[in-house]
Structure 1
Amino acid sequence: MNPFDPAKYKESEKLAYSRTAQTYEKHGGAVFEMLAVPVIERANLKPGQAVLDVACGIGIPSLVAAARVAPAGTVVGIDITPGMVEQAKARAAGKGLGNVSFQEGDAEDLPFPDEKFDVVLCNMGLIHMPDRGKALKEMRRVLKKGGTVSLSVWSTPDRTAALGITAKIVAELCPSVIVPGTPSWFDLAEKGVLKKAFARAGFTETHIDKVSNFLEIGDGEAYWQMALGISGKVQMLLQSIPPGTAKIIKERAMAGAERFRAGNTIRIPMEEVVAFARKG
């Protein structure tokens, strides 16, 4: 089994999310808008502020922030995946927002001068970064004194079944695809881990709480299509394994989703952890 290589991991992330950039809004837009709400609310944005949205994806938090800091405020969204950046630009143009811009960039090496922004947002982005400590230090570096960061990460696996269904099946049937050292989507939710990470990065006044959400979807087939629509890695995996194994993964994932049926709707837990901190 190959040792974890951060550079190769970042390239694989770019490739995976480039595959889903065009379908991300259709299959995951509503979900990530819901997840962004507490991140935006805790940021307490005000007109005239300069905001950075790290790992902006298709620009969901960026566009909300742009409306809130208008007319004099500005928002910059940055993402490592070119396809996501292009989708974010298109969405901003479609909404006629002139105070938001998007560019490619690495969260662990932000292409901005010190103390440029009043607020940094990061909605479900930190979990993808190989060096979370470095990313947090970069967020602090580009914040003005007294500036704040508001971000979200996934909660523990037992409280985020919407993600765990497919992930558990893949781990059981295709264990060789999981490289030791690959960033976990859930480890930042363990007690004290995120707060310590903020402290090591130099932040103060850290506040962390959990927000309960549910993925509401019609049936197992809809759940599977959503998973494919937002996860390029699942798409790539299915193309690299025997068709029979791919069929089993799909069937088990659909059945796993159906276990959360409540009447005419499937309601699957997807709790998030939201953190707010200040640069002293």
Structure 2
Amino acid sequence: MADLADKLNRPLLDAAGLTEGHRLLDLASGAGEPALSAARRAGPDGLVVGSDLVPGMMAGAVRRARSVEGPAPTFTAADMTALPFADAAFDGVTCRFGIMFVPGVDSALREVRRVLRPGGKAAFMVWGPRAGNGLFAEIGDVVADHLGEDGSLDPLFRFAKPGLLSEVMRAAGFAETSETDLTPVRKAPAGQPFWRAALDMSFGHRLGGLSAERRKALEQDIAKRFDAQAVDGIVPVPSHARIVVGW
């Protein structure tokens, strides 16, 4: 997924106004992106702090940071609704596909405003409509066919409606907001389970109790769906993301 991730990371960091020497806080960093890319852009005179609510989520990110040459982010556990940082500590804040999972989103956005310096920008990336995200749409349809629909994907698309996150951000005190839609298409190899990580991430809680036979049948149906879309051995997988910036 690295190629698609890069196509999303770069415009997110651009939207946050990140340049050399800046101080950036990345929320819900997970496995380390875009914090790792941000650290390279901020350079040796900048500071990038990656954070996640669950310390174990960042284990891979910490290992990756130790192995890179040049500037690397630091990582720390942090609750978005009670950030352990001083007022106006950062020039920018980013969050890639994380804000939709926060129950107290109003509290989180107020905390983001608090740690931003005056004039700093917060850039959030969220998913657009499910129908525009081929990876989730196809996997979700197959799981629903086998196990029934239970709304497992609903949190991912909490802010899919244009303008919704902007409205919440302005209510939390951001003076201005802007939105930009991105629709990159990933070119995935046919016959390869490029979709398995997304399946486990989104539906692991439903798949754990399946027999090996039922799990195999489900995965075979997913593979057939994607392979049927292949052209010259390549499966085009459309994505629809949205960057919402507040300042």
Q: Structure 2 length normalisation: TM-score?
A: 0.89
Higher relative CO (Cα under 8 Å, sequence separation at least 6) belongs to: 1
Structure 2 letter corresponding to 1:261? A
Structure 2 equivalent of residue 120 of structure 1: 93
Structure 2 equivalent of residue 75 of structure 1: 48
User: Are 2:233 and 1:260 equivalent residues in the alignment?
Assistant: no
Equivalent residue of 1:240, what SS?
Answer: coil
Residues in 2 aligned to 1:253 and 1:116: alpha-carbon distance in whole angstroms: 46
Residues in 2 aligned to 1:217 and 1:99: alpha-carbon distance in whole angstroms: 29
User: Are 2:19 and 1:46 equivalent residues in the alignment?
Assistant: yes
Tell me if structure 2 keeps the 8 A contact 1:206–1:277.
yes
Structure 1 letter corresponding to 2:210? I
> How far has the Cα of 1:194 moved from its partner?
1.6
User: Are 2:182 and 1:204 equivalent residues in the alignment?
Assistant: no
> How far has the Cα of 1:51 moved from its partner?
0.6
Question: Larger deviation: 145-154 or 249-258?
Answer: 249-258
Structure 1 letter corresponding to 2:178? H
User: Structure 2 matches for 1:101-116, cutoff 5 A?
Assistant: 101-116=74-89
User: Are 2:29 and 1:56 equivalent residues in the alignment?
Assistant: yes
Equivalent residue of 1:118, what SS?
Answer: strand
Identity fraction in percent: 28
Q: Which runs of 5+ in 1 are unaligned?
A: 1-27
User: Structure 2 matches for 1:1-280, cutoff 5 A?
Assistant: 28-98=1-71, 100-175=73-148, 178=151, 184-227=155-198, 231-278=200-247
Tell me if structure 2 keeps the 8 A contact 1:156–1:190.
yes
Residues in 2 aligned to 1:247 and 1:108: alpha-carbon distance in whole angstroms: 40
Change in 2 beyond 3 A, CA 1:157/1:183: closer
Equivalent residue of 1:261, what SS?
Answer: coil
Tell me if structure 1 keeps the 8 A contact 2:3–2:186.
no
Residues in 2 aligned to 1:52 and 1:220: alpha-carbon distance in whole angstroms: 39
Query: Over residues 8-53 of structure 1, what are the superposed CA-to-partner deviations in whole Å (9 max), with x where a residue is unaligned?
Result: xxxxxxxxxxxxxxxxxxxx44432322121012222122221100
Structure 1 letter corresponding to 2:84? P
Change in 2 beyond 3 A, CA 1:256/1:109: farther
Tell me if structure 1 keeps the 8 A contact 2:170–2:176.
no
State the number of aligned residues. Answer: 247
Residues in 1 aligned to 2:112 and 2:236: alpha-carbon distance in whole angstroms: 35
Change in 2 beyond 3 A, CA 1:202/1:220: farther
Tell me if structure 2 keeps the 8 A contact 1:223–1:254.
no
> How far has the Cα of 1:263 moved from its partner?
2.1
> How far has the Cα of 1:98 moved from its partner?
4.8
Structure 1 letter corresponding to 2:110? K
> How far has the Cα of 1:203 moved from its partner?
1.0
Tell me if structure 2 keeps the 8 A contact 1:163–1:270.
no
> How far has the Cα of 1:79 moved from its partner?
0.9
Residues in 2 aligned to 1:204 and 1:263: alpha-carbon distance in whole angstroms: 49
Tell me if structure 2 keeps the 8 A contact 1:155–1:271.
yes
Q: Structure 1 length normalisation: TM-score?
A: 0.80
Tell me if structure 2 keeps the 8 A contact 1:73–1:99.
no
Residues in 2 aligned to 1:175 and 1:115: alpha-carbon distance in whole angstroms: 47
